[in-house]
Amino acid sequence: MRKDSPWKQNVSLAILSSHENGFMEDLDKTWVRYQECDSRSNAPATLTFENMAGVFMLVAGGIAAGIFLIFIEIAYKRHKDARRKQMQLAFAAVNVWRKNLQQFPPTDITGQLNLSDPSVSTVV
């Protein structure tokens, strides 16, 4: 509270009256429980597995997440390679098809030779 606060006197009197009535001691007994320290134990505190269990659980969770991500990456790579092989096979089939088409002379829709095409030579 500020030095020149108009509430300073009222709050101080309320705290003093609560202390005189025993209300503050009741609060101490209810909320602040005094426990005497064990004076027999002078040894330093040691870390046990129970104290470190959270750390081990986090490490195990990180390892499990890493393994899961590795499997996802492997599956994605296999899928991507399979798609690439399919595309290569399709391009190879298209190239074979084009090569086969170039061996035959062009014909019109009815299957007859197009004699007006200068690239077609007719030898009889």
The pLDDT tens digits of the residues spanning 9-68 come to 899 999 999 989 988 888 888 888 776 766 676 777 788 888 899 999 999 999 999 999
3-state secondary structure 29-42: HHHCCCCCCCCCCC
* Number of H-type helices and E-type strands within the chain: 3, 0
> In the predicted model, what is the mean pLDDT of residues 77-87?
97
Total-model pTM: 0.42
pLDDT value of residue 115: 59
Kindly state the percentage of the chain with pLDDT values over 90: 44
Our CA angle for 46, 52, 56, nearest 5°, is 150
pLDDT value of residue 124: 47
Cβ neighbours of 88 (radius 10 Å): 10
